[in-house]
């Protein structure tokens, strides 16, 4: 049982070390509303030469289930080189989105930037396949202790005499 836990720990460690697992981050954003448009400003630090996938959602502090994914966005959103500069997104609010909004002061934008990694790292299925292969080899070694004729070997007989019977 210890070996299974150890193997699981090693696989989990490889997954966490992989760049794709650690390459996203939450970003602080500010916004301004005017005439049916919301202008969102954000900035994040990262490698300026790499592409990032930026996405945004409107959330509410008082209601954890509240979430709107804006439909009509323009500006520094989607794929591109957005790191290390001041970015701006313009959201034109449509009627459906406007009907979901209530009055309040606890709205915030959840901006996420995910680094786009192409051709780097080892895909997760290599780790899963390696673990399955290692588990199969361990099972064969542990359960396969049989003679060539298919019988379980008998322990060697000893030259000790049998103990005396009890009175």
Whether 92 maps to a domain, the answer reads: yes
Tell me, what CATH number does 38's domain have?
A: 2.60.40
pLDDT tens, residue by residue, 79-125: 888 888 889 999 998 888 888 877 777 888 888 888 876 655 566 77
Indicate if the pLDDT at residue 25 is higher than 50: yes
The number of distinct structural domains making up the chain is: 1
What pLDDT does 88 receive?
Answer: 92
49 or 120: which leads in pLDDT: 49
- Checking if the pLDDT of 146 tops 50, the result is yes
State phi, psi for 92 to the nearest 5 degrees: -90, 115
Using a 10 angstrom Cβ sphere, with 0-12 exposed, 13-18 middle and 19 or more buried, the burial of residue 58 is buried
- Tell me, yes or no, whether 39 lies in a domain: yes
Q: Above 70 in pLDDT, residue 41?
A: yes
């Amino acid at each position: 049982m210890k070996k299974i836990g150890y193997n699981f720990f090693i696989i989990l460690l490889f997954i966490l070390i992989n760049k794709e697992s650690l390459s996203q981050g939450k970003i602080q954003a500010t916004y301004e509303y005017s005439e049916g448009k919301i202008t969102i400003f954000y900035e994040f630090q990262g490698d300026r030469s790499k592409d990032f996938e930026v996405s945004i959602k409107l959330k509410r502090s008082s209601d954890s289930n509240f979430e709107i994914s804006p439909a009509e966005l323009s500006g520094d959103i989607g794929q591109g080189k957005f790191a290390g500069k001041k970015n701006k997104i313009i959201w034109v609010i449509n009627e459906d989105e406007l009907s979901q909004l209530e009055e309040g002061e606890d709205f915030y934008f959840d901006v996420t930037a995910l680094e786009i990694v192409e051709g780097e790292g080892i895909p997760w299925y290599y780790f899963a396949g390696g673990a399955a292969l290692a588990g199969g080899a361990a099972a064969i070694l542990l359960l396969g202790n049989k003679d060539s004729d298919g019988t379980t070997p008998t322990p060697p007989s000893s030259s000790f005499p049998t103990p005396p019977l009890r009175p």
